[in-house]
């Protein structure tokens, strides 16, 4: 099934010209986040539905910059529960392929913040600034409307009552829509 989808996607991409509008754009995303590398404590919940918003500027068909705010997921252990959000600024590289399809990659910085509910008072939310990166595909449905699908990786943290951060990662798979002005 995966091979069939990949062949269908590549065939569609190869059959048509690409487009990337220059200028400002806004967008929204909806996806799924999965928390990983949470340390020695096993997670009882590590995935969540997340949403986000973005504002960007497409400099030319190959380069842009983008600021976004997104959820990075909820997590639970046997004793604590928490959630995280991230604000990012990233450079976007676009590779127009064909018929409105472009591949993209992004690299930037993310400032994440977690909130934790812990009845034992041993863990609290924390902030972390770390590199963020992602890849995906975007389709120009019209000259102003784009549809995208991608995966982004974010770093986040929780803090123990001794002040030591436990860093972890969140992978966010998301579909989105953009509107170019």
Domain range enclosing 173: 2-180
Residue 43, exposed/middle/buried by CB under 10 A (0-12, 13-18, 19+)? middle
- The pLDDT of residue 35: 87
Report the CATH number at residue 168: 2.40.160.20
| Residue pLDDT, tens place only, 115-156 | 988 888 788 899 999 999 999 999 999 999 999 999 999 999
| Residue pLDDT, tens place only, 56-82 | 999 999 999 999 999 998 888 888 888
Is 3's pLDDT higher than 70? no
Domain count, the chain: 1
In angstroms, the CA 146 to CA 104 distance is 13
Q: What is the pTM of this model?
A: 0.81
CB atoms within 10 A of CB 40: 5
- The pLDDT of residue 81: 87
């Amino acid at each position: 099934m995966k091979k069939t989808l990949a062949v269908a996607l590549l065939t569609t991409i190869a059959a048509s010209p690409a487009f990337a509008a220059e200028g400002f754009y806004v967008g929204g995303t909806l996806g799924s986040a999965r928390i990983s590398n949470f340390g020695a404590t096993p997670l009882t919940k590590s995935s969540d539905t997340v949403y986000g918003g973005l504002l960007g500027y497409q400099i030319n068909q190959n380069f842009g910059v983008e600021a976004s705010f997104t959820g990075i997921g909820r997590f639970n252990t046997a004793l604590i529960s928490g959630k995280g959000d991230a604000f990012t600024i990233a450079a976007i590289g676009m590779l127009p392929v064909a018929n409105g399809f472009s591949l993209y990659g992004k690299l930037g910085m993310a400032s994440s913040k977690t909130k934790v509910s812990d009845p034992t008072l041993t863990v609290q939310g924390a902030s972390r600034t770390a590199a963020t990166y992602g890849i995906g595909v975007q389709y120009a449905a019209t000259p102003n409307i784009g549809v995208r699908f991608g995966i982004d990786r974010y770093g986040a943290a929780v803090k123990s009552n001794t002040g030591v951060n436990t860093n972890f990662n969140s992978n966010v798979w998301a579909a989105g829509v953009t509107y170019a002005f």
